[in-house]
A = this chain, B = another copy of it.
Amino acid sequence: MRIIDEAAVEDIALGAAVLGTGGGGDPYVGKLMAREAIRQYGPVELYTLDELDDDDLIVPAAGMGAPIVIVEKLPAGDDMIRAFQALGKYSGRQPRGTMSIEAGGLNSVMPIYVAARLRIPMVDCDGMGRAFPEIQMTIFTAHGITASPFAMSDERGNVLLMDTVSNAWVETFARSCVVHMGAEGMIALYSATVRQLKEASIHGTITLAENIGKTVRNARRAEANPVDAVRAAVDGFLLFRGKITDVDRRIEGGWNKGTAAMGGTGAYAGRELLLDFQNEHLAARIDGEFAATVPDLIAVLDNETGEPITTEALRYGMRVAVIAFPCAPQWREPAALQLAHPRYFGYDVDYVPVEERFG
């Protein structure tokens, strides 16, 4: 067990923005909430799975909706506690702790808020090792853990509970309801025992996010090249450097969807990178050829500061570096890969691990 204090929240949020691959919601919002909760209720205890009892029940807590909205409309916090507690009441089992459904973006730090306010442990693992736009896209699903019972609440006080026949049905119903909630709802789901999570989660991802954050912070302090520091911290590859020439962005079905185009600079002059996103980056094409796709991670970094840029912050004229890095190995097992395959997102291509293209 180790303590997550306000400083740790800073590093986790920075690293989670890299793992968020442009989406998952800007961790800035979650960071504010987590810091405030730690100030008010005290620091959070982060446990490894081995430090907990195999029968302990862990319930992830998260935000759901269009990141572009969540950033504008700071969650009240009560809605998240309401969803978390409604799930416990419905399932008739007291959760021992909470965790991140996704280590990328906002949802990396949102459970810190829950853990601080309810004085319960947070567990150092998650269900994605990154962020993904749909609820069923988790290593949990690939291992047969159900998203149901599922609880959802909004700022008005509405509570929805779902018990569905598949994780994809939770996605269908919840996505449709979150649109009516103003594209922002707080959720609790994927209750699992520590025993299950030992098999069915990605371990140590909060620590991973924190380490990425620390690396970037140290590089900035040392005036080293922060883009290079991020790339090295995630064992990644530089795909492109350039200037954003066009951003096409819309809210569709409760998601941020769109494409950003970049014209190359320096060694990349004369080339074009097209980046597609659905909350998160899905695929990067350079001069029409796929350079990286889901489930591998693609991050857009500010070329000077190394700061990861979310899809909602992409603007014409920004100078950026695009890096890609391998997903957690669990995503490459068949049951998991089919949940987040490029074909699921409408790309008629095979998945080629990024290190095979650039390694």
CB pair A177 B176 closer than 8 Å: yes
Q: Let me know if A219 is at the binding interface, CB within 8 A.
A: no
CB pair A165 B176 closer than 8 Å: no
CB nearest to A176 among chain B residues: B176
CB pair A156 B169 closer than 8 Å: yes
Task: Say how far A64's CB is from chain B's closest CB, in angstroms.
Answer: 14
A165 CB contact (under 8 Å) in B157, B163, B173: B157
A176 CB contact (under 8 Å) in B156, B163, B164, B180: B180
Q: Let me know if A316 is at the binding interface, CB within 8 A.
A: no
CB pair B173 A160 closer than 8 Å: yes
Q: Let me know if A202 is at the binding interface, CB within 8 A.
A: no
CB nearest to A177 among chain B residues: B173
Chain A positions 113-168 with a Cβ under 8 Å from a chain B Cβ = 156-165
Q: Let me know if A172 is at the binding interface, CB within 8 A.
A: yes
Q: Let me know if A90 is at the binding interface, CB within 8 A.
A: yes
Contacts of A161 in B (CB 8 A): 90, 160-163
Q: Let me know if A233 is at the binding interface, CB within 8 A.
A: no
Chain A residues bordering chain B, tally (CB within 8 A): 19
Task: Say how far A85's CB is from chain B's closest CB, in angstroms.
Answer: 12
CB pair B173 A164 closer than 8 Å: no
A158 CB contact (under 8 Å) in B86, B173, B177: B173
Contact (A169, B165) CB under 8 Å given A90-B90, A176-B179, A177-B177: no
CB nearest to A157 among chain B residues: B165
Contact (A160, B157) CB under 8 Å given A176-B180, A177-B173, A177-B176: no
A180 CB contact (under 8 Å) in B86, B157, B158, B173: B173
Contacts of A173 in B (CB 8 A): 158, 160, 177, 180
> Which of A160, A165, A172 has the most chain B CB within a 10 Å cutoff?
A160
Contact (A165, B160) CB under 8 Å given A172-B180, A173-B180, A176-B177: no
Contacts of A165 in B (CB 8 A): 156-158
A259 and B212 alpha carbons, distance in the complex (Å): 62
A162 CB contact (under 8 Å) in B90, B158, B163, B172: B158
Mark A280-316 against chain B: 1 for CB-CB distance below 8 A, else 0: 0000000000000000000000000000000000000
CB nearest to A181 among chain B residues: B173
Contacts of A169 in B (CB 8 A): 156, 158
Contacts of A179 in B (CB 8 A): 176
CB nearest to A89 among chain B residues: B90
CB nearest to A158 among chain B residues: B164
A54 and B157 alpha carbons, distance in the complex (Å): 30
Contact (A159, B162) CB under 8 Å given A90-B90, A180-B173: yes
Contacts of A90 in B (CB 8 A): 90, 161
Known: A156-B169, A159-B162, A177-B177. 16 other contacts (CB 8 A): A86-B163, A90-B161, A157-B165, A158-B169, A158-B173, A159-B163, A159-B164, A160-B162, A160-B163, A172-B180, A173-B177, A173-B180, A176-B176, A176-B177, A176-B179, A176-B180
Which 5 A-B residue pairs are closest in the complex by CB-CB distance? A161-B161, A159-B163, A176-B176, A158-B164, A157-B165
13 A-B residue pairs with Cβ-Cβ distance under 8 Å, sorted by A, are: A90-B90, A156-B165, A157-B165, A158-B162, A158-B163, A158-B165, A159-B162, A160-B160, A160-B161, A160-B162, A173-B180, A176-B176, A176-B177
